[in-house]
Structures are given as structure tokens and as C-alpha cells.
Structure 1
């Protein structure tokens, strides 16, 4: 009887150089060696050329006096400052415009991306025109337009345009009040940080309870209703007080404003909450429009401006009222007012009890310029505005693509549950779309930060202008200045990618 050998056959032996693993290692070592050799050749060749030109290298110039002025700086600066201080000024100015641009571009981009998918024909087409126009015009050309054609065309200092809240704009930039807190105000900031932590923890607990039970905790619901009424009273009282004391002056304006504010606050927790929102929207929109139109078109009759502002405010109030009618009951909504009361109310209480003061230094027009306040140069305003509207157009397309990537069945399932359009978007569509939106959104953030270097073309003192421009020309240390500038942008990019990748991991789907 013959016995069959069913064991696994031994793998054929491969020669050393034909082994795929060994061959892959050899290739990587060779490529790495060539790269190191190329870098060594560049370094050696550069050092030889510099030695032939009697040029020294090193970073000792950072501790030498710069001797030039910087038009805008968040840090203390004078001609006697060192080059390393100029390096820090360039970094802070770049971070400032990048941080502001990222926040504003994200808000505007998400709004435009959602608006482009709106069922309203006018809103959708307006968003489309904006996106297709802005993103197809070079950013540098847009910066030139906002700087030379808009801001430099503003009136002279003595004919500055007056905006609300003691803000002025002219050829020299934007003048805004400067906050001047005292030492006791530090306790207010500490309380604000604690309040943010408490509100975040309460939000997480409420959301988890809703996920498990289908509704928010009763304590949170009741506290949320009280917070809604309180916030409504504050907003209504402030708006009505301005209306009765400034726009239409009457006697006993505070008393009448308080009575009407209490009435609106009481209605906000009843089935007439939509009416409250409509009235408040009308009052606030009318105040803003009347003030803005009166400042921008001072040559128009005041009665015409008032009637026009009231007509537009009435349309806005109608839209808000209609949308409020479709809102779910307060028990089913996230208690946003409660979180706002915690985050704002606790610091406000400490501010009142501690006797802290937060004064504002208002800019005042003197003979040749404004004195006091905070002056934002036109270069900063043009760069921040240009980066915001340009990047927002690309973010809008990213948001639109992310929303359209969500399966249509998700929308139909949300509709079958009776969710309104706004709730479908907020609770179902956008959370699923974020895993598609985040990766390209990271690229847009990186692009905005790197595009801030175009501020050198309009004179904004960012990193490239200050350090890779003026400092390089004065010291002649091209390699050092360029290397430090490249290192900063590399660190910015890596940090941004690290944060966004962490957030992307939080919102991505987890396999079970």
C-alpha cells in the first residue's frame, strides 16, 4: 500500500539578489545615499561660492540691531529692535491674518456651500455667481483691487466714514475702539475659561442622555426655557431702549422698553415664540439698517432712509417668523441659550462683583489723524478680506461636494422621521458629510496660510515681507533668512495638518 505525502511543499529557494525584500532594501539604501550625496554637494558648493565671495554664514545677525520701521506690529517694535524680534513680528502678523482668515472663510464658505444647494432659486444662483466669479480671479489681482481700488479710494482722514460703535474708515485704514482692562479683569477671564469647561461638560452630558433616552434631561429643558426667556428679555430690552431713546426719542424710554421686553420674554416660552422672534428681528434689522444707511447715504432724506430700512426689516422679520413656525418644540432643541448664559453670565457676574472695569479707548479725530483707539492699516484689512472671500469660494465647493456625497437615502430617512429641513441638515447630512469635507478643507487652510505671503505685494508686514524681504536685503544672509522662513511655513503646515487630522479621526466612521 502506497502512502501519499500530503505535507506542504517547501518554498523554492531564491537567490540573495532576487529576493524581493532584499532588493527593495537595496533600492531604498541607494536612493537615500543619492539624496544625501546631492544635499551634501549643494551644501558644499554653496559654502565654496560664499567663501569665494568673502561672505560669512551663520545666525549671529539675529542679535544685531535691525534699524528699520515696521508699519504694523502686535509686539513692541522700534528701530533699535533686533532681527530676531523682526522675525517674531513677521510670525505674529502672519498668524494674525491667517487665524482671522480661517475663521471668517470657514463661516462664509459653509454658508455659501449650503446656499448653493438651496431650493430657493435666487439664493442658489447668487451663491453660484459668487463662487464661480471669485475662485476664477487670481488672488493677487483681488488683493490689488481691494487695496488700491477700494481702500485707497476711501475718503481722507478728515472726511472719514463713521460706522456704528465709534468705528471709522478712511484711506489710512480702519479705526476701532481699543479695550483697556484693569488688573481685576483677569478674574473675569479666569471665570470665562471655567464657564466654557462647565458648559462643554453639560452639553456632552445632555447629548449623551438624549442619545440614550431620546430626550434631553428634564432639568436641562427647564433651565433652557428659563435661559431662553432671560436672553430674550436682555436682547429685547437693549434693542427697544436704543429704538425709543435714539431713533424715536420718547419720555420714559427705559420703562416702556422694560415692559415690552418682559412681555416678549414671556411670549418666548409659549406657542407664540415665533411672533417674538419676528418682532425682535424687525427691531434689530431696522436699527442696523437705519444706522448703516444713514451713515453711508447721508445725502438721502432721513424719511426715505427710515422707510427703506423699515421695509427691508419687515421682509427679514417675515422670513424669520416663517422659519420660527417650523422649528421643533423647545424640549427637542439643544439648550443653546442655557450654554450662552453660563459662558457669558458667569463672567458678567464676576465682573460686577469684583468691580473690574473694561474701558474702551475711542478713536478721536485730531488735526491730521485719529488719536487713541486701535488702527488697523489698509494693508491688513485688504489682505484679511481678500483671503477670506477667495478661500471661502473654494471651501463652499468643498462643502457642496461633501453634502452631495451623502447618500440620498439618508435625507429620505430623515424626512420619514418628520425632521424639518434645517434639522435634517444639522443632525443628519452635515455630520456625515464632514468626513468628506475635512481632508480638502485642511488643504484650503494650508493654502490660506501660505497665501498670506502675498501680503508683501501690498505692503503688509508679514513674515516674507519683513524677514525674507527687508531683513534679507539689509543683512545679505539669504540662505539663513530663506531657511528660517521656509521652516516657519513648514511648522505652520504640520501643526494645521495635525489638528485637522485629529478632528478628522473624531468625525470619521468607526467600523464595528
Structure 2
């Protein structure tokens, strides 16, 4: 039997699995023994206990009397929120700068290149500290806040009017989500019709109508609320409205600017991967430079851009954990506070690792699905 290569491969792999299992078993046994010797219990029951600490920024209701589990969810939502906002802005900014890197205008090309080489060669943590220092030092105190209408900018952040709580606003938000779904479905139908008949259906203005009409109908159907909470200076802080903190602005700007530099190089490489014959053919058809870029170059470059772009989205999401350096209450910050109060280090760190793993797998899966949709199909 040993003369069989298939049998030998099976034996080697089985032996490797036994070795891995033995090492893992020893590590777990040693961990349990050390914890028991220090009278440290293992489990996630602490998530039901009262947290006892406040969180400065939250997307859902939270008070110190709530549990550690709810505090963990608040930190997770803060991480997802700032990461999603930064991904959108970094993508748009990176696309613009990547195109500018190939511009025939010498000055624009050099400025874009200088931005890329400067930003991507300075550690992100230093950039976050720089942005945070600029916001806290250059902005005026609350009593001398810069005012633009009913909006104020101060060391406390950006304070602006905000809709008062009402079901109509929630319905309008759902209308926006419905408009996104309708736009995607209509775009797919337009592509199918073009492939089948050669006729190109309009996409831009029907999508615009959906984004205006659906939220308006939902908003009007549930009472058409118009009430806004306007901020007013009361003592040393503002009352009413909604405040976007300097910590959120710093993290959002830092992640967007830093990641955009890498995305710009990915876009530049993707555009340069398109064969020159494609560009010459589009010029021969009389397309303008903007039309060539939108209709010929970018659709083909997208197949090269998406795989490395996925890595940048993953990096941005994981880099959001640097929020702890500037005091933004993200997942790591809240979990660290929980760890310090409860001593459940293994559970807290394990939860953080599991959550970041799930987020990364979700982003990777979504981007892989999109990459599959735009792939070249061989005939």
C-alpha cells in the first residue's frame, strides 16, 4: 500500500490533521487550566449585565443602564456606519484622482500624482491625529461657533437641523431603498432589451423619477411631516438638532482620503489595461473623451479594478479600528472598555475577531458576486 502515491498523500494529510488537533487541544487545555487557577470563568453571560458606562455617539437608543451586549451592538453599528460612508466617498474620490492621473493636462496630472505619493506613504494613524488636531485647534469654541443659517461649526463638531422623530421620515427612507431596488431592476431590464433588440432604453431619468417619486409618496402617505429640530446655543453646548462629532469627521475624512490614494492607483492601472485598439475604435466612432471613458474604457477596466478594490474595502473596514486613537466609540473602543470592566479578555477579543471576520467575508462575497456579474463570458 505504501507504494501507492494516493495512499501516501492520505497518510501525510491525516498525520498533519492529528498534529494540528494535538496542538490545538494542548493550547485549549492549558488555557482552561490557567483560567481555573486564577478563578476566571469563561462564558458570554457578562453580555447580559449592566454596562454602567455611556457612549458618546450611538445610532440606537443606549443608556449606561443597558447591558454590555447592547453596548457591543452600538459599537458595531458605529463601525459599520463610518466604514460604509468612507467606502462610498473613497471610491468616488479615488475614481476622480485615478482618471486625473492620466489627464492630458500636465498640472492636473502632477497634482493627482503628488496627492497619491504623499497620502499613501504617510501612516494612517498619523493622518488621523493630524486631522483631529486641525479640527480641535482651528475650529472656534462653542460660544464663537461659525454659523451658516441654522448650521453651526465649532470644536464640538457640525451641528445642523434634523427632522423630528416621525413615521413619515422612516417611510421616506424606505422609499429611498425601494427606489434603489427599482433602479437596479430597470437597469437590468434595459440591458436585456439592448442585448436582445439593440434598442437602448433610458436609465438615468427613470431612476431619477423613482428617487423623487417613491420617497415623496411614502412621506406624504404617513402624514407629510415638516417639523425640524433646530439647534440653539444654551450655555456651553447646543440643544436640539443633530451634531456630527469631530471624532466621526476625523475618522471619516482620514479613511476616505487615505484609501482613495490606493484606489486611484488601482483605477489608473485598470484604465491602462484596456487595449489601445479599443480607444482608437471609439475615437473612430466620433465619441468624445467623456463618452469614451464612460462607455468603452471604464466598463472594460472594471474587470481589472474589482479584485484589488475588494482588498482596499477590506483594509478600510479594518483600519476603522484605529478610531480608538481619537476617541470615536467604535467596536474596538467599546469592547476594550467592556474588557477592562469585566476582565473577560478572551471573550471580548474573540467577539471582535469574529465580527471583523464576518464583515470582511460579507464584503468579499458581495464584491466577488459583482465581479462574477461583470466578467467576460467566453463564447
* Corresponding residue number in structure 2 for 1:342: 210
Residues 1:97 and 2:87 are matched in the alignment: no
Unpaired runs of 5+ residues, structure 1, are 1-15, 218-333
Say which structure, 1 or 2, has more relative contact order (CA 8 Å, 6+ apart): 1
Counterparts of 1:432 and 1:93 in 2: how far apart (Å)?
A: 35
The within-5 A match list for 1:317-328 is none
When Rg is computed on C-alpha atoms for both structures, the one with the higher figure is: 1
Correspondence for 2:186 among 184, 197, 202: 202
Q: Quote the offset at 1:76 in angstroms.
A: 1.6
Instruction: Please say if 1:463 is aligned against 2:328.
Output: no
Residue of structure 1 in register with 2:376 after alignment: 509
Alignment of 1:116-195 (within 5 A): 116-163=101-148, 166-180=150-164, 182-185=166-169, 187-189=171-173, 191-195=175-179
For 1:199-238, list aligned pairs within 5 A. Answer: 199-216=183-200
Give 2:297's aligned residue: 429
Structure 1 residue corresponding to 2:361, chosen from 461, 479, 494 = 494
Superposition pairs of residues 298-377 of structure 1, within 5 angstroms:
334-349=202-217, 351-352=219-220, 355-377=223-245
TM-score (norm 1): 0.70
TM-score by length of structure 2 reads 0.94
Judged with a 3 Å threshold, the aligned counterparts in structure 2 of structure 1 residues 359 and 19 are, in CA distance, closer, same or farther, namely farther
Aligned length: 379
State the Cα RMSD in Å: 2.0
Asked whether 1:107 is paired with 2:92, we answer: yes
Greater Cα shift, 380-389 or 68-77: 68-77
When residues 80 and 359 of structure 1 are mapped into structure 2, their CA distance, relative to the original with a 3 A threshold, is same
> What CA distance in whole angstroms lies between the structure 2 residues aligned with 1:59 and 1:87?
12
Which structure 2 segments of 5+ residues have no match? Answer: none
Q: 1:162·1:169 contact (CA, 8 Å) conserved in 2?
A: yes
Distance 1:193 1:452 in 2: 26
- Deviation of 1:206 (Å): 3.3
Q: Is contact 1:155-1:171 (8 Å) kept?
A: yes
Q: Structure 2 vs 1, CA of residues 350 and 473 (structure 1 numbering), >3 Å: closer, same or farther? A: closer
SS at match of 1:418: coil
**Residues 1:79 and 2:64 are matched in the alignment:** yes
